[in-house]
Structure 1
Amino acid sequence: MSDQKPTHREWGARTTPRLQGNEHWWPDQLALNVLHQKHPDASPFGKDFSYAESFAQLDVDELSADVDALMTDSQDWWPADWGHYGPFFIRMSWHAAGTYRAVDGRGGGGTGAQRFAPLNSWPDNGNLDKARRLLWPIKKKYGEKISWADLLVFAGNRALETMGFRTFGFGFGRADIWAPEDDIYWGPETEWLATGDERYTGSFEDGNRVLDNPLAAVQMGLIYVNPEGPNGVPDALKSAQDVRETFARMGMNDRETVALTVGGHTFGKMHGNGPAEAVGEAPEAAKIHEQGFGWANKHETGLGEYAVTSGLEGAWTPTPTKWDHSYLDTIFAHQWKVTKSPAGASQWEPVEVREGYWVPDAHVEGKKNPPVMSTADMAMITDPDYLAIAREYHEKPNVLVDEFACAWYKLLHRDMGPRARYLGPQVPDEVLIWQDPVPEHEGPLVSDDQIATLRRQIAESGLTSRELVSAAWASACTYRQTDHRGGANGARIRLEPQAGWDVNVRSGVAAVIDRLEQLRDASDANISLADMIVLGGSVGVEMAAKAAGHDITVPFTPGRTDATQEMIEVDTHAHLEPRHDAFRNYRQTQATSIPAEHLMVDRAFMLDLSVPQMAALLGGMRAIGVNVGEDNDGILTGRPGQLSNDFFVNLVDMGTVWEPVDEAEDRFEGRDRATGETKWTATRVDLVYGSNSQLRAIAEEYAADGGEQRMIDRFVSGWVKVMENDRFDLYR
């Protein structure tokens, strides 16, 4: 036996998880990692840390002064353009918030994810590692009182203020994560900036080019669009199509898109003054001694005047550190031609620069440069609809001021959810429709005695446990923790578009809500319909448990209010529609090719459930019979309507043999092993609790003698979690 020690390469080859992990050997296996990522020991602050409480100790005025001072405190290791870091921080904040996509609520600046891969190493985030390091002394000073997530976004907001623009306001309240958000699907490509259009169907030529859902950027590693044009081709009209679709995926309309482009590009410059090949690896691939710095530039000093980021080179306006209207003045004052930057990127420069539009160099005293536009900028005056808006802003600059302020505020806060989650003294009083507002609660809360009376009346109303549970779940399960939208508060289930959703129509929830409203109206209790729906669900769970021999009380906290139709942004609210819901064995035909069990995990993640809670809720709702429509798939019990552990008992019973009944293997029959008689039918999301080793381990515990009580305890905790996910007045 050799006593020679292994080299670090040999040792790494033996222990690197990605070479030996389960996903390597069984890539199609159901991954539950996303439901484990909020480990209580993941944060350095501990499981009891409250960011809201810590932030309350922060002097926001002092923080603002420190950030403002940093803007012009130029550092030799990363010199500021024109001696002002403002444009740099605007880009950092924009790119932190701009990953948000309305389709699934993922992305955005609300978690500080820009610190981690892949975002910290996207080509479009080139050199933003330096912007974050510039902020480190401020983060060091304030520690846990200010999150990185808030600081990264706040810095850009303050940057605008220091350069003469008055913002709409700012809301703090973004708590940090401490690991990458590995569950986010950023696209199918296996290389950065791939030009194969893998994420599109159709083409520009046939007029039917569509970006795959839920993606919002045109290429892997970009926030929005390629500034040089689609796949690097400087075609402004085609670029306009890309711009329109990607900004719409972020929840922005044409006016907001033009306002953000014009307002944001009023400041700063693009960087490409050197050969692109001189730029080194991104932060995640940097060598250990580089300490997380990426994109090392070997051309000349690699800093200041030689910086290379996007590859385009130049400023949009002659006053790059001042809020004014020179962007539109500049773009409308010139004829433009396509040129190449020193890095070889396609960009647009004036055919002839008019007097007053030469740009002072960012670093070389006395040097003047022509203004520069990207192909995406040229889309603003090439696309007819964008052009009309740009001309209006040019003629009415005050309109641009107002609309850029609102669009910028929306950009920074779109993923934060309702305004109730905002913290700090700079939150504006105005409530905007995209914040999913609900009315303030008026008058005294319903009393405990009144709640007890209502519980009894609901139980005696003739409504079944199945109907009550189904209606409450339908109201609350729209919540998604990615952007804190949806949920039971507001009782939006009775309004459009929710009232017309297929899952709600087929579940018959309207009749249940009508009956609950009658009970509410006949009562002297000051209680909203939103509260009545949730209370009804709690009563339904209690009724089902009692029928199974368990006396339980489901916790209920009143205080919800009822939204009006005018409070709903219908277009973006449509993204909350449950096109699949494993807990009710519901899936719209051909809604997606993703296997149902994977969609189940995604839904559980959106609802912030643990794996045991997910399992208990699904098994318990099967026992109660809360399937959409009349099918009995997964109702593995002879006593439907009772909150029992029968689903798990019968699923893991070795006397049953399961076989698929369709070619897609979406539905199955369970036959008696001895007689061949059909006993049950089920779907993939039912059988996965017996096939997946992690889920089977939990299923067996719930099925074991004494396991029913454990299952009911987890069911109740999961149920209350779903009902109260959007109670931001209770949980911060």
Structure 2
Amino acid sequence: MEKSKCKVSKEDFSQTLLGNSQMEKWWPNQLNLKLLQQNNERLVPTEKNFSYKEAFSSLDLKTLKKDLEVLMKTSQEWWPADWGHYGPLFIRMAWHSAGTYRSIDGRGGASSGEQRFAPLNSWPDNVNLDRARRLLWPIKKKYGNKISWADLMILAGNVALESMGFKTYGFAGGRLDTFEPLEDTNWGPEGEWLSDDRRDKNRELKNPLAAVQMGLIYVNPEGPDGIPDALEAAKDIRMSFERMGMNDEETVALIAGGHSFGKCHGAANPAKYVGPEPEAAPIEEQGLGWKNNYKSGKGTDTISSGLEGAWTPTPTKWDNSFFKMLFEYDWNLEKSPAGAYQWVPTDPETENLVPDAHIKNKKNKPIMLTTDLALRMDPEYKKISKKFYENPKELALAFSKAWFKLIHRDMGPKSRYLGEEVPDEDFIWQDPIPKIDYELVNNDDIVSLKETILASDLQINELVYTAWRTAATYRDSDKRGGANGARIRLLPQREWKVNKPQQLERVLNTLEKIRKEFNQKEIRQISLADMIVLAGSTAIESAAKKAGFDINVPFVPGRADAKEEDTDIKSFEYLKPVADAFVNYMEEECDIPASMLMIDKAVQLKLTVPQMTVLIGGLRSLGATFEPNVGNLSNTVEILDNKFFVNLLDMSVAWEKNNEKEQYFYGKEKKNGDIKYHATSVDLIFGSNSQLRAQAEFYAQDDNREKFVNDFVKAWQKIMELDRFDLFT
């Protein structure tokens, strides 16, 4: 059809493209409430009652692993395997899938199969991993819903290691696929690949980032900013891996273990021969990117990172030759055929030359990257590397444990692990909680405990606040935190300012006393973790009754109390909030709009927009705020009703900034100027933002008073049970 005869143009449908949202162009600083609608059920093609846990339990894992190993050793003409084995490619795929994890906000990682989507599928560091996933497609097609892409990519890495002689520590399934890229992750401020605008003047990375450049998993293998300085590279490595939750020994083991297999690919200059990444490639490429026009574009002509060569003479076999190469040779700097900085040994013996990956009878010099030499040049890394060089069994054990941690770190507690290869050992990074070995309380016990709680001298707002703060530590990104374990009573949480340590101590002491007295006289037992949640729910029922609503807040016992020795204080510090908008807390030194942090936390709590709205309004009406009366826009206290929204929308009140306190406001009577309310920017955003105002108006309606209470109870229950993985299927 001739364009001139078409009645419509591309511009007529510009709204269908990501970059043409007029709303974003006109008002770029408006809150992005779409983050609370990610992976919407309308996107998910599985049946609503589909249970991945049940599907995975029917999987014949042993047969699947055999199929994977056959696949790895069957080279395909369209993408020939190096040395006839795809194992190293699959290790890289699994590593890069899991390796985006960072401890600071728990985001990244392998748990949702994000490597299939933008931006990760098009990162420069993931070049040609699109081929790895296409190689896996026949396996995924065969086993279908019994194994997710997220699990399959990780399992393929494990099988690859095992097929080349390495004994892995185990494998757990349980990762659920998303069907769209998760957009709540901040990958960095840069607009160009491999650029670096993420450091302060001391070259420290800005939070929450872990990779040193946009589009890298960790660090630049050529050295910082492409400068081949091993000692400076060591600084970047340590900073990046530490932000992933790895210590020095784990870091050395991972680098050495990973680089014991496979090779780098840099047959020619990628800038000259390699086409656009998958998301920018033409439609006929069908989701593949980086089309290589250098000679055959594959096999010996492959271009990936631009570095070229293998680390060891045995690239498809597990042994200790990485450290043998590293320590037994001096290394000279050279450039790869693509122009990238790398290192080659001086006069390597014939037996240490590397068989070419594709050309029979050809031998090549091994290589090291600047980041590899860092393991020899940095004093601390060198000690560990020497130990592994001299004790190969220690390296094997350290690598197996570090690899297991790498690929499972974002899965949360061990109770979420599925399959027959889950190791018995508990690791502190799994935030272990003791198994319950006693009979749980029944309904009669719960009624009795509620009466005792209400008879204590604790206030409704104190009980609600404590329960909220113990549960609201949960973050869905890596399934850490939450009420199970009652870690609010342990360091570091018991000292966090947001937890009101003095009030917390009083509440916990009273609840512990009630718990002990009950447990001493009954066969059935209750944990402090359950007591905290029960007390908060009991207080809500009491507050609702004051408002004229006789409700029951569902409570399911089964939480246990974590031990101090099973709590990694350093890693739990990452869960300490800069702000908790739900209780109107904000660190004084922070000038970030609190509403932005509210949205981020709501994402981590898996809240919808209505759920976020009712929780804000309900907690205000209950007086469960960090500062008394701030945000309580009601003449009553500790009554669960919709008055927060009713009074927020009252046109007889005018709002003015508190010039002495950032993000604080006065609500003044228009008729006389008297101060009536104190509120924060979080409170006022529900009247200012048009979408949130629509929610506030709905819940402020006279006919929605009861619905507000019921919706609050449902949202509250959801928060209290976010980490009750034993209740989910």
Residue 418 of structure 1 contacts residue 437 of structure 1 at CA under 8 Å; is this kept in 2?
Answer: yes
**Does the CA contact (< 8 Å) of 1:507 and 1:628 recur in 2?**
no
The CA deviation at 1:272 is: 0.2
3-state DSSP class of the match of 1:226? coil
Shift of 1:3: 8.7
SS at match of 1:416: coil
Distance 1:8 1:78 in 2: 40
Q: Which residue number corresponds to residue 456 of structure 1?
A: 451
Q: RMSD of aligned C-alpha atoms?
A: 1.4
The number of residue pairs the alignment matches comes to 722
Alpha-carbon distance between aligned partners in 2 of 1:696 and 1:53, rounded to the nearest angstrom:
42
Tell whether 2:369 aligns with 1:371. no
Out of 597, 602, 605, which is 2:603 matched to?
A: 605
Give runs of ≥4 in structure 1 deviating > 6 Å. none
Q: Which residue of 2 aligns with 1:430?
A: 425
Per the alignment, do residues 301 and 716 of structure 1 end up closer, same or farther by CA in structure 2, a change over 3 Å counting? Answer: same
- Please list the CA deviations of residues 111-154 of structure 1 after superposition, one character each: whole Å capped at 9, or x if unmatched: 00000000000000000000000000000001111100000111
Alignment of 1:47-446 (within 5 A): 47-194=48-195, 197-202=196-201, 208-276=202-270, 277-446=272-441
Deviation at 1:487, TM superposition (A): 0.5
After superposition, the C-alpha distances for 1:581-639 in whole angstroms (9 at most, x for unaligned) are: 00110011224x43100100111111111111111111111111111144x22110000
Q: Distance in 1 between matches of 2:247 and 2:662?
A: 42
Provide Cα deviations, 1:419-470, integer angstroms capped at 9, x if missing partner: 0000010101111110000000012111111111101111111211101101
Question: Match for residue 585 of structure 1?
Answer: 584
**Separation (CA, whole Å) in 2 of partners of 1:704 and 1:38:** 30
Corresponding residue of 1:205: none
Unmatched 5+ stretches in structure 1: 203-207
Which deviates further from its counterpart, 4-13 or 88-97? 4-13
Paired residue type of 1:730: L
- In the TM superposition, what is the alpha-carbon distance from 1:678 to its structure 2 partner? 1.6
How far residue 183 of structure 1 moved from its aligned partner, in angstroms, is 1.3
> In structure 1, the residue corresponding to 2:679 is in which secondary structure?
strand
Using a 3 Å threshold, how does the CA distance of structure 1 residues 327 and 6 change in structure 2: closer, same or farther?
A: farther
Q: Which moved more, 1:346-355 or 1:540-549?
A: 346-355
Aligned to 2:506: 511
The question of whether the paired residues in 1 share the 8 Å contact of 2:39 and 2:182 is answered with no
Aligned-pair CA distance for 1:560:
0.6
Give the 3-state SS of the residue equivalent to 1:339 in structure 2: strand
Shift in Å at residue 663 of structure 1? 7.6
Amino acid at match of 1:549: G
Residue 579 (structure 1) shift: 2.2
* 2:618 aligned residue: 620
Tell me the SS of whatever aligns to 2:665.
strand
**1:663/1:231 Cα in 2 relative to 1: closer, same or farther (>3 Å)?**
farther
Distance in 1 of aligned mates of 2:150 and 2:531: 36
* Alpha-carbon distance in 1 for matches of 2:622, 2:191: 45
2:114–2:120 Cα contact (<8 Å) kept: yes
Alpha carbons 2:39, 2:179 under 8 Å: kept: no
* SS of residue matched to 1:348: strand
What is the aligned counterpart of 1:715 among 706, 712, 716? 712
CA contact (8 A) 1:438 1:490 kept: yes
Q: In the alignment, which residue of structure 2 is the partner of 1:700?
A: 697
| Matched residue type, 1:75 | Q
Residue in 2 that maps onto 1:571: 570
- Offset of 1:505 from its aligned partner? 3.1
- Residue 417 of structure 1: how far off its partner (Å): 0.4
Letter in 1 for 2:130: D
The letter for the 1-side match of 2:127 is G
> CA separation of 1:7/1:698 partners in 2, compared to 1, >3 Å: closer, same or farther?
closer
Cα drift, residue 182 of structure 1: 1.1
Checking the alignment, whether the CA contact within 8 Å between 1:586 and 1:627 is kept in structure 2 is: yes
Q: Contact 1:256 / 1:403 at 8 angstroms: preserved in 2?
A: yes
Residue 31 of structure 1 corresponds to 32
User: Could you tell me how far apart the structure 2 residues matched to 1:464 and 1:663 are?
Assistant: 31
Q: Give, as a single letter, the amino acid of the residue that structure 2 aligns with 1:244.
A: R
Query: Which whole-Å CA distance do the structure 2 matches of 1:507 and 1:43 have between them?
Result: 46
Distance in 1 (alpha carbons) for counterparts of 2:76 and 2:37: 41
Secondary structure of 1:356's aligned partner = helix
**SS across alignment from 1:349:** strand
Q: What secondary structure does 2:610 align onto?
A: helix
Match of 2:657 in 1: 660
Q: Which amino acid aligns with 2:351?
A: G
1:539-554 aligned at under 5 Å gives the runs 539-554=538-553
TM superposition shift of 1:11? 4.4
CA apart distance, 1:40: 1.7
- The percentage of counterpart residues that share the same residue type is 54
Query: Distance in 2 between the 1:414 and 1:239 partners?
Result: 25
Question: Which secondary structure does the structure 2 equivalent of 1:522 belong to?
Answer: helix
Give 1:294 deviation, angstroms.
0.3
Please state how far the C-alpha of 1:673 moved relative to its aligned partner: 2.1
Letter in 1 for 2:537: S
**Deviation string for 1:324-349 (max 9, x for gaps)?**
00000011111011110011111111
1:556 aligned residue: 555
Q: 1:456 to 1:663 in 2, by over 3 A?
A: closer
Contact 1:414 1:435 in 2 (8 A): yes
The answer for the alignment partner of 2:636 in structure 1 is 639
Distance 1:463 1:266 in 2: 60
Q: Report the Cα offset of residue 15 of structure 1.
A: 4.8
One-letter identity of the residue aligned with 2:563: T
Structure 2 unaligned residues grouped into runs of 5+: none
CA distance in 2, matches of 1:339, 1:8: 53
- Which secondary structure does the structure 2 equivalent of 1:729 belong to? helix
Summarize the Cα distance change of 1:258–1:604 in structure 2 as closer, same or farther, 3 Å threshold.
Answer: same
What corresponds to 2:722 in structure 1?
725
Write the distance in 1 (CA, Å) between the matches of 2:667 and 2:11. 49
Q: 1:488–1:726: 8 Å Cα contact kept in structure 2? A: yes
- For 2:229 and 2:57, locate their aligned partners in 1 and report how far apart those are by CA, in whole Å: 50
CA distance in 2, matches of 1:407, 1:388: 18
Cα displacement (A) at 1:10: 4.2
1:507, 1:629 within 8 Å by CA — same for their partners in 2? no
